[in-house]
Amino acid sequence: MAPASRAFYLDAGGEAVLVRHDAPAGAPSGRGVVLVPPFGWDEVCSYRPRWSWARHLAARGTGVVRLDLPGGGDSAGGPSDDDRLGAWTTAVTAACAWMAGQDDGTDRITLVGLGLGGFVGWQAVAAGAAADDLVLWGVTARGRSHVREVKAFSRLERSRLAELNPGRELAGDEDGAITAGGFVLSAATIAVLEATELRAPGAPWADRRVLVLGRDGAQPDARLVDAARATGAEVAHADGPGWGAMVAEPGSSTPPWAAIAAVDAFLDAGPAGPAGHRARSAAPAEAAEAIIDGVRETPVRVGGVDGVLAEPAQATGPAPVTLLLLNAGSIRRIGPNRMWVELARRWAARGVPSVRLDLPGIGEADGPDSMEGDVGAYYGPEFVAALHEVLDRLAAREGSRRFGAIGLCSGAYWSLQAAIEDERIDRAYLLNTRALVWDPDLGTLRDTRKLGYLAKASTYRRVLRGDIPLRRGAEIARAMAWRLLRALGRQAARAARREPAAPPADPVDAVLDRLRDDGKRGYLLFTGAEPVHEELERTGHLTRLDRWPNLVLETLPELRDVHELKPRELQREVHARLDAAIERDLQAAVRP
């Protein structure tokens, strides 16, 4: 039986922070963990592994509190708001205080902080947060070192983008900010971090224990170990295997079981009861919903699907439509670079509610610990079945009657399928969909169409750099041989029957015809050199779009290899295009 998990909000200095509590299953151990995430793209990639980690701890009898830091995830705020480090520290302090105030037998709390989240966690405990012990993984004592990592990631991304877009002038970050992985570290936050170094607080930590973990063979930061020892705490340090696997692409990231085992041992070896100097304070009140910039947000759970409903705080009448914000491939409900959160709040303020959803195997939804890079796992029939259940609940609870579905990558595919399969969805917005009709061999078949693929020097450079796994070449070669054998087999069978080769029915035509005949609207947006757009061009679909007057297809071709919309200027343009498409459909719905 899965441990019980629920989401709620805490007020942290005036900002609503989304918190999730995974209650201990079975006999409580008396221990609790506050798990503080890393920053930006690492936070996105590691989300499912941290979900698995929390469930693992809860199954051992250890309750876990997880939180989205202000300006990130489903919490309030944005990256450019004032005093982000202070807001993050306040949020962690509130999460610790909430756990310490529960009457559930938890008497010793360990703060587990990852990357920049560990840096923030130290700051919170040094300022009096109600945590007894610390586990700091991938943390450095100097804030400037964390900033340096973000800068290095940003430079690497820009270098790769420049290589794929020769001669193209790439827009730089504005106002001294850094964008890495689609996430922004503002100039003000950079300045504060660069001026901050973790040091021993005035009061000794003699009753505390600190475990410092390096990353995948790299030794822990020596300054951090020295700072921990200077507190008077009992300090241990070790390797932290599994960091790289934990922050791999979201569809491939896996729980760091070896590091988790080390943390388990650390927890088990600790004394019972709180540290003598732990701060005592009243637990902050939890709330089932939050008002954020005039928008009411409420966590919802429908079967195995998890989500957040955003609606006007002061609704004046029935909503014209409810938007379903589906996954962006393997990225959870916040969307690419948190774009779904921004879109949901913007449109809820204009009277259009939405629900951001984690579908099976993604984010907080039921499913395996990891999809392990299996793209086909995101195209299973359980996805559309889960959407039907969500629509039933929304129609019954919220009175919603008309819906529009928005998604990127596989989420775009399911937006289309849901619109076809469910009469309540009358519009679908597809961003960089990787399929209009799903075929398990689709990815490999696309590669085999490029006859010179294996001979290209650029391909070998990408293999050596690690962008393309070595096994991919073998897969392509096998697929080419298989396609040839299948084609020869079909040709031989027709010859034996003396049948002419009949042109097969076009499955894309069938899907788009169905959408048109059902009176539903569709919007397709492609950025860069997206394979579906190239296929529509190659097959002649783009020259006969007048067959589907219900469709609008737009492209933003300026940059290649921007499937996840990470450049900031591209995010702004996509927001504008989506807003225009939604507004266009709203106006069409009220037109006599």
Q: pLDDT tens digits, residue range 291-341?
A: 999 999 999 999 999 999 999 998 777 888 999 999 999 999 999 999 999
Report yes or no: 299 and 18 within 8 Å, Cβ to Cβ.
yes
Q: 230: which residues sit within 8 A by CB, 6+ positions away? A: 199, 200
Look at residue 588 in the predicted model and tell me its pLDDT. Answer: 87
The verdict on residue 571 lying in a domain is yes
Write out the two tokens for 292. 């954020």
Look at residue 169 in the predicted model and tell me its pLDDT.
Answer: 76
Total domain count, the chain: 3
> How many Cα atoms are found within 13 Å in the side-chain-facing hemisphere of 169?
1
Answer yes or no: is 558 within a domain: yes
pLDDT one-digit tens code per residue, 336-360: 999 999 999 999 999 999 999 999 9
Instruction: Give a yes or no: residue 146 inside a domain.
Output: no
Instruction: Single out the residue in 222, 249, 275 at which a domain terminates.
Output: 275
User: Do 458 and 580 fall into the same domain?
Assistant: no
Query: Is residue 511 scored above 80 in pLDDT?
Result: yes
- Domain span at residue 405 reads 290-432+507-590
In the structure encoding, which two tokens stand for residue 11, read together? Answer: 């007020």
Do 233 and 110 lie in a common domain?
yes
Query: Would you say residue 249 has pLDDT above 80?
Result: yes
The CA distance from 223 to 198, in Å, is 9
**pLDDT of the residue at 455:** 47
Q: What's the pLDDT at 558? A: 86
Same domain (yes/no): 514, 572: yes
Answer yes or no: do 424 and 448 share one domain.
Answer: no
Report the share of the chain in percent with pLDDT over 70.
Answer: 88
Does 187 score more than 80 pLDDT?
Answer: yes
Residues forming a β-bridge with 305: 302
Residues 77 and 114 in one domain: yes
> Given this model, what pLDDT does residue 454 score?
47
Number of neighbouring beta carbons within 10 Å of residue 18: 23
How far is residue 139's CA from residue 198's CA, in Å, rounded to a whole number? Answer: 10
| pLDDT the model gives residue 315 | 77
pTM for the complete prediction?
A: 0.90
Co-location of 491 and 542 in the same domain: no
Note whether 375 and 346 are same-domain residues. yes
pLDDT at site 466: 56
Asked if 70 and 14 count as a contact pair (C-beta separation under 8 A), the reply is no
Higher pLDDT among residues 309 and 3, named by residue: 309
Task: State the amino acid at position 445 in one-letter form.
Answer: L
Q: Is the pLDDT of residue 452 over 80?
A: no
pLDDT at 441: 80
On the question of pLDDT at 423 being above 90, the answer is: yes
pLDDT at 523 over 70: yes
User: What is the rounded distance in angstroms from the CA atom of residue 116 to the CA atom of residue 138?
Assistant: 8
Report the C-alpha gap between 119 and 57 in whole angstroms. 22
* Whether pLDDT at 98 is above 60: yes
Give the tens place of pLDDT for each residue, 478-507: 555 555 555 556 556 656 665 555 556 899
Pair type for strands 31-36 and 108-114: parallel
Residue 35 sits in the same domain as residue 80: yes
Could you tell me the CATH number of the domain that includes residue 74? Answer: 3.40.50.1820
d(CA 76, CA 526): 30
Tell me the mean pLDDT in the region 245-269: 97
Residue 281 counted as domain residue: no
Q: Which of 216, 439, 449, 309 is nearest to 7 (CA)?
A: 309
State whether 253 and 379 are in the same domain. Answer: no
Mean pLDDT of the chain: 90
The token duo for 321 is: 């439509």
The domain boundary residue, chosen from 497, 522, 544: 497
Pair (512, 488) in one structural domain: no
Question: Which pLDDT does position 283 carry in this prediction?
Answer: 82
User: Does residue 161 form part of some domain?
Assistant: no
- pLDDT for 397 equals 74
Which residue has better confidence, 466 or 242? 242
Q: Which of 497, 520, 541 is the last residue of a domain?
A: 497
Residue at 167 is within a domain: no
Q: What is the DSSP letter of 349?
A: T
Same domain, 470 and 515: no
Task: Identify which of 351, 338, 339 has the alpha carbon closest to the alpha carbon of residue 310.
Answer: 351
| 549 located within any domain | yes
Q: Are residues 20 and 127 in the same domain?
A: yes
Q: Is residue 165 one of the residues assigned to a domain?
A: no
Paired sense of beta strands 286-287 and 5-12, if any: antiparallel
CA distances from 158 to 31, 197, 466, 573 (A): 44, 29, 17, 19
Q: Which of 84-88, 255-259, 469-473 has the lowest mean pLDDT?
A: 469-473
Least confident of 41-55, 304-318, 509-523: 304-318
| pLDDT confidence of residue 197 | 98
Parallel, antiparallel or unpaired: strands 133-137 and 108-114: parallel
279 pLDDT exceeds 90? no
